[in-house]
Amino acid sequence: MNDLRFQELNTIKEDTGISLYLSITPSIGKKEVLNITKKIIDVIKDGVKEGDKEIFEKSKENLFNHLEGLRVKGKSLFIFSSPKNTYEFFYEFPFRNEIYFGKPNLYQFYWAQIEYKDFGVVNFTEEKFSFYKISFFKEKLIFEEEPKVDTSTWRRKHIMPPSAPKSGVSIGAAGGGDLKDAYEEKYLYYIEKYLSDFKEKVIKDSDDLKVIFVNSDAEENIDMFLNIPPPSQKFIKLNAPSNATINEIIELGIRKIEEINKNEEKETLKILFDRAATSNLAGVGLSSTLKVLQDGRVNKLIISENLNKFVYECKSCGYIYQERESCPSCNSKGQELKNIRFHIYDLSKKYKSELFILHGNEAKELDLNDGIGALWRY
Ligand SMILES: [Zn+2]
């Protein structure tokens, strides 16, 4: 996350307090935020250990004091509140409503980096060629160019020289064409040159992007851009209404990317189930997946967004396992109960597996197998 204040939060990892995630709408008032928080704080109240009760109460008091003065200014909110510190962050991408007591729980930020990958938008208007990057639903203009030819001609079906009389008198020219042909040829040459330079710059600056949507108020402009070399799989046509604002174009991009992601989820789940059914380097279920993962054999770790299971972490070697008396790796009896939901991101990083998150119906299908499975390397 390139949010400076988020980095600040990273520096107080050892602090203990309440982490609160809320999805909100700009129309929601402070009162509603308070009401939701009061409701969900009850969920964790009973789980707080005796020795932590004082820290919890003080964190809670600070949290509600903070909410009293809250000014809603985004689509989602994250607050971390401890007896000493309270941090508030608004974002434009949604969170799951959730509350947690302990060390700052940043797991939703890590999941969000997987769920909301940055994408690009190339947009052509009469005056400008623009390239935006959209990160967590917030756009940033990367560069913009004003072509030195009059692109208003470009959007007319039949290109006419600016000086051509309306009656359309043609004057013969060498090579058999007329003035109109000569103009069109020269005009296209310049347009293509500008587009091709622009395209190369976009490609050069988009290593971090999976998809770049290409939009213009005239479809033939999009085609022209796509057909100009070099070809790239990253570019996808986006047909926003001709008078759409950049925000509407981005909204449309977000919906398109959701479609792309949904298809990828369906495909991934099918591969997982097909391969697991034939024991072809894949498996589902918590116990076996944890084992294969910690053997370093998992290529793609696939989880449901609803993943919510308790596991033990060995206090001496850090091995994660399901309920049993001693650690299967080192036989030590010291263990700590943890929810795998909050640790799966770190585990996937540790064992160099790609974490993939399923949503909606696909998530529910995997929930029948503990909400977890994996494609193996070997
Ligand atoms: Zn152990």
Query: Distance, CA 322 to ligand 1 centroid (Å)?
Result: 12
Query: Distance, CA 338 to ligand 1 centroid (Å)?
Result: 15
Q: How many CA atoms lie within 13 A of 22 on its CB side?
A: 28
Please give the average per-residue pLDDT across 357-363, as a whole number: 98
Query: Distance, CA 291 to ligand 1 centroid (Å)?
Result: 13
Strands 235-237 and 212-216: parallel
Match 């398109």 to its residue by tokens: 256
Query: Distance, CA 297 to ligand 1 centroid (Å)?
Result: 19
pLDDT, one tens digit per residue, over 284-340 is 999 999 999 999 999 999 999 999 999 999 999 999 999 888 999 999 999 999 999
Query: Distance, CA 334 to ligand 1 centroid (Å)?
Result: 8
Secondary structure element (H or E) that encloses residue 249, with its range? helix 246-277
Query: Distance, CA 20 to ligand 1 centroid (Å)?
Result: 32
pTM comes to 0.85
Q: Higher-confidence residue: 163 or 113?
A: 113
Radius of gyration of the chain (CA): 27
Pair 23, 76: CB distance under 8 Å: yes
For the chain, domains (ranges, CATH) are 4-115 (3.30.960.10), 119-239 (3.30.420), 262-376 (3.30.1330.30)
Which of 114, 137, 126, 293 is CA-nearest to residue 216? 126
Tell me the three state secondary structure of residue 257: helix
- The pLDDT of residue 163 is above 60: no
Query: Distance, CA 325 to ligand 1 centroid (Å)?
Result: 11
pLDDT, one tens digit per residue, over 130-154 is 999 999 899 999 999 987 766 665 5
Secondary structure element (H or E) that encloses residue 216, with its range? strand 212-216
DSSP state of 231: P
